[in-house]
């Protein structure tokens, strides 16, 4: 699972094993099917472009 490392300069580094993250993602998506559809929509380039446009108008 995620591991925090406190660096000498006072900063903190978060290390995450990508295999563990992928397993957690799959578990969550299997349990909540709606999330899979949301992820598919969010991965669509047209949706991302539209969201960037909306964000620029609001900002």
Whole-number Å distance between alpha carbons of 15 and 20: 11
Question: What stretches of 1-59 adopt beta strand conformation (E)?
Answer: 3-6, 12-15
Whole-number Å distance between alpha carbons of 41 and 47: 7
**4-17 tens-digit pLDDT:** 899 999 999 988 88
**21-32 tens-digit pLDDT:** 888 888 888 888
């Amino acid at each position: 699972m995620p591991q925090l490392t406190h660096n000498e300069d006072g900063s903190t580094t978060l290390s995450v094993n990508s295999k563990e993250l992928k397993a957690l993602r799959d578990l969550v998506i299997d349990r909540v099917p709606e999330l899979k559809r949301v992820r598919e929509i969010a991965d669509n380039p047209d949706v991302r472009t539209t969201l960037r446009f909306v964000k620029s108008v609001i900002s």
